[in-house]
Structure 1
Amino acid sequence: MSLQSVALWLSETPLALELADSNWLFGTVEALHVAALTLVIGSIALVDLRLIGVGPARGTAQEVLERLVPFTLVGFGFALASGSVLLFANPIGYSENFWFAAKFSLLALAGINALVFHLFAQRKLAEPGSVIPRISGAISLSLWLGIVIAGRWIGYTL
């Protein structure tokens, strides 16, 4: 089964048809998606800036991480759910869109970076002068900036 045939099938589902027919559904889901992304990006930015050493957050990097990761996870869950619904609005267009592919490629890289951080770099937080958490924070911040930029371009290129 090709990507095009999956996109065509998605475009004929009841959810896709409801998104196309409704005057308010798409806008509501999109607003929820933006709100969820704000929670994700805001919490990640605070953690990353603290890791880099320029963050305004009080406490150690570990304390900031422990306080904010739950917000990131909740926001990501809502962003994933709302983004999945938005996909049904134009699955064929999304499947052919460069910026959509770029956003998901960057999301995959951000996920890998987060996994590497939690498995390896987080242990270095207690070591004074360790650059590994700083590098991980800078990579994360750059990837999430790219995700936001790619996401905004999707809307302008569909």
Structure 2
Amino acid sequence: MNWLQHLCQLLYDSHFGTYIRESDYAFSIIESVHVLAITLLVGTIALLDLRMLGVVLRGVSVTRIARTVFPLTWSGFLVMFVSGFLLFWAEAAKNYGNPAFRIKVLLLLLVGVNPLIFHTTIYRRVHEWEQLDVSPWRARAAAIASLTLWSGIIVAGRMIAYF
């Protein structure tokens, strides 16, 4: 057994993991909080992405939308991360070999790289294009990648229960 699989088994066998998994309410409450946090996170990200694609709020600058939604985005991310880790803790041994879970983790890594690249490249010059109805192609590509990756994460997350 490799170290990661061993760690997953330790989490799964822990009292806390067992409590979450076997409780009448804990798992479902945590899962509901997780879904609501994803809704907040992806909703705010989608708003900015759709603005960069020129689909919504064309008259509002990209930076104004970003400044407005980022506190909500980070709040959603924090709650999603904590609740997701608790769900993982409860089912770590099962998730270790679950292909849907592995796809979700891979997509989460990619969705983290996307804004890193975006903010260190095209967004540095946002003052040049933020008022345009449709953003430059690199910003649109990042928006499409973001929407696609988050959609994949949601689908893979839902599929975990079926593998």
Measured against the shorter chain, the TM-score band is over 0.9
Contact 1:124 1:132 (8 Å CA) reproduced: no
Report matched runs for 1:1-158 at 5 Å: 1-56=2-57, 59-128=60-129, 130-157=136-163
Residue 57 of structure 1 deviates from its aligned partner by: 6.8
Structure 1's unaligned 5+ residue stretches are: none
Q: Distance in 1 between matches of 2:24 and 2:59?
A: 44
Question: Number of residue pairs matched?
Answer: 157
Shifted more, 15-24 versus 103-112: the winner is 15-24
Q: Distance in 2 between matches of 1:4 and 1:93?
A: 10
- TM-score, normalised to structure 1, is 0.92
Percent identical: 34
Deviation at 1:58, TM superposition (A): 5.3
Distance 2:65 2:105 in 1: 27
Distance in 2 separating the partners of 1:138 and 1:109: 13
* CA deviation string 1:3-30 (max 9, x = no partner): 2211111111121121133100100100
Residue 50 to residue 12, structure 1, CA distance change in 2 (3 Å): same
Which aligned segments of 4 or more residues in structure 1 are displaced greater than 6 angstroms? Answer: none
SS of residue paired to 1:127: helix
